[in-house]
Structure 1
Amino acid sequence: MPSKHMLPKGKRRQTVKPEYRATRDVEPAPAPVIPVLELENEGEGSLRSFSVPPEAAGLRLDQYLAQAIADISRSRVQLLIDHGQVRVNGEAAKAKMKLQGREEVVIEGTPHPPPLHAFPEDISLTIVYEDEFLAVIDKPAGMMVHAGAGVAAPGEEADERNHGTLVNALLYHFNKLSQVGGELRPGIVHRLDKQTSGLIVVAKDDVTHRKLSEMFAARELEKTYLALVHGSVSRDNVTISLPIGRDLVRRIRMTTRRSLESEGVRPAVSHVKVLERISSEIYGRFTVVEVKIETGRTHQIRVHLQSLGHPVVGDTLYGAPHRVGQAPNSRSLDRNFLHAARLAFQHPRTRKAVAFEAPLPSQLAELLGVLRAG
């Protein structure tokens, strides 16, 4: 029996070579840039209406809204739609609805995911330092600092989103934590990306938390990171001073390509120092760098190093390849080669100078050894 994928009789000798030749070396048309909506009166019971721009023609409703509304995920958009809070041309809409452009959309209120609750969980912690006021933790890669505000997957209990975080472990190991950051972020003064390892300081009381926050804002803490990047960084010392904001096309990313005058874009400064250049016949060229940051923007080091053309090894979100080297000798890394190695500051309560260091995790040290040997 002929396959349903076969061409009809008489057309099986046709070739796609002419079409291929016609499009060879032709750059694909760039994806349309969806204008970001500036919606006001957000809150309970509010109504926000707008017209869909022509550029959104062909997009699904949830896809368009996730791109057009700042700081909202596609899952949050789907929650709004599922709860009947989105109408298109006066009628309730479905997430998969294809837009034609110029439709009238009305959004009522804000999405309400099931509540999250921070709770203690018996998770092993590497406590580098602890006193009555604060603690310094060596966070492993793969651990989120606190629960996100995303929507639970279908059939998933709300609290499942809050399992395995640093907050869960802190609540189990310490009797008291500050509450300045709210119920979901007890003790959390600053954060590290999920796939970044290293030192993070947590506050045990509100006074210490506020003092640490002031020190972070005044840039009085010295944070030093180690990273392995692709390629050979040409200059031994580089200061990157590029503003960082949300990527309007891929909203899970940050970018340095928006102007500082744009909404949500903030200045960011990183100081990069080359520690070692590696040239491997098997795996290619790499550079070990030390990075000190003056500001603490989302994904700052990752996006700044990408702006130099040297993405962090393992950071596929910002252009790093999924594997290092060529088969059959290629290696993979299921995390970013980025580690918060040193933290130094004046203790906010005792006023003594303190400094802490965390060794490179074994997974990163092993990969570095392989590259050096290759």
Structure 2
Amino acid sequence: MDTFTRFPDILYEDDSLIALHKPAGLLVHPSWISPASTPNLISLLKQQFPGDTFHTIHRLDRGTSGVILFVRNDKEAAKVMHQQFLDRQVSKTYLCVVRGWTEVEGTIDYALRYEKDRYSEPFANEDKAPREAVTHYRTLAQVELPIAVGRYPVARYSLLEVKPETGRKHQIRRHMKHIMHPLVGDTNHGEGRHNRLFRDHFSIHRLLLMATELTVVHPKALRKVHISAPLDEEVLSLFEKLGWGRLSELAENPQLLY
């Protein structure tokens, strides 16, 4: 069972906004398919700041770690921030590890159909038209491991910087699967043999998708707010093992990659 013994690190805080460093495996909201006692960010925020109200303006999957932003106490500010996401005025950056060697850079422009959650949305209409979805990526590092997978004698992986232009459900995971480079650790859209390789050889039991940067316009001050999250020790240790040790500098300054 997942345990989260301390409150997540606060990356940014003022009277209107609070950004947390969400660990992989922690829910943002209570889930229909998890026990009521399962830890989630909203409950932790309410415990940490009793009397405050927190508004969700975007989401991270349970398996994704990194920057997540909430509006506190101000319904009008929440509407403003929500509209920023809808109008694509928010800049989001992720790092992810994918199967195979990707192109140096690319743009995935592939509309995505509505993805129904049969537990939380049992009566939702699945016949919605596909919606525009655009993801930009850049390859930062690659590795070839002398480990056989299926009929291949070696296993290849790439580290990507990803910037989604739109915000569809599971967009990065589904887009990378679409170009045949699924995310490592993705049990829904990935490939089991590669997920097992990382579990067996590196003790990695998580989705390798990390939200590293978020830039928004402050709803009150009307200035840009840039928030970044360092990589956690588990990911930094993995990068060392993969020969991507130079990326450990991200622990102090994520901007060094970019």
Fold shared by both chains (TM-score > 0.5): yes
Alpha-carbon separation, structure 2, partners of 1:173 and 1:128? 15
TM-score (norm 2): 0.79
Q: Which of the pair has the greater relative contact order for Cα pairs under 8 Å at 6+ separation?
A: 2
Q: Does 1:139 align with 2:44?
A: no
* Matched AA of 2:137: V
Q: Which residue of 2 aligns with 1:324?
A: 197
* The one of 90, 113, 119 aligned to 1:245: 113
CA deviation map 1:288-330 (0-9, x unaligned): 101111111111101111111111111132133332279xx73
TM-score (norm 1): 0.56
CA deviation map 1:333-360 (0-9, x unaligned): 2110000000112211111222111111
Give the match's secondary structure for 1:161: coil
Alpha-carbon separation, structure 2, partners of 1:265 and 1:177? 38
CA deviation map 1:351-371 (0-9, x unaligned): 122211111111112112212
Give the match's secondary structure for 1:369: helix
Q: Do the aligned residues in 2 keep the contact of 1:274 with 1:288 (CA within 8 Å)?
A: yes
Alpha-carbon separation, structure 2, partners of 1:229 and 1:300? 14
* The one of 179, 187, 196 aligned to 1:308: 179
Q: Do the aligned residues in 2 keep the contact of 1:344 with 1:353 (CA within 8 Å)?
A: yes
Task: State the Cα distance separating 1:287 from its structure 2 match.
Answer: 0.6
Task: State the Cα distance separating 1:201 from its structure 2 match.
Answer: 0.6
Task: State the Cα distance separating 1:281 from its structure 2 match.
Answer: 2.7
Alpha-carbon separation, structure 1, partners of 2:134 and 2:197? 29
Alpha-carbon separation, structure 2, partners of 1:360 and 1:335? 14
Q: Do the aligned residues in 2 keep the contact of 1:177 with 1:187 (CA within 8 Å)?
A: no
Task: Please identify runs of 4+ aligned residues in structure 1 that moved more than 6 A.
Answer: none
Q: Does 1:171 align with 2:42?
A: no
Q: Unaligned regions of 5+ residues in structure 1, if any?
A: 1-120, 153-159, 179-185, 253-260
Q: Does 1:161 align with 2:63?
A: no
Identity percentage of aligned residues: 33
Alpha-carbon separation, structure 2, partners of 1:352 and 1:175? 28
Q: Which residue of 2 aligns with 1:104?
A: none
* Matched AA of 1:174: F
Q: Do the aligned residues in 2 keep the contact of 1:177 with 1:203 (CA within 8 Å)?
A: no
CA gap 1:247/1:350 in 2 versus in 1, 3 angstroms = closer
Alpha-carbon separation, structure 2, partners of 1:264 and 1:174? 41
Alpha-carbon separation, structure 2, partners of 1:332 and 1:122? 21
Q: Does 1:267 align with 2:139?
A: no
* Matched AA of 2:64: T
Q: Does 1:216 align with 2:89?
A: no
Task: State the Cα distance separating 1:195 from its structure 2 match.
Answer: 0.5
Question: Number of matched residues?
Answer: 226
RMSD in angstroms over aligned alpha carbons? Answer: 2.6
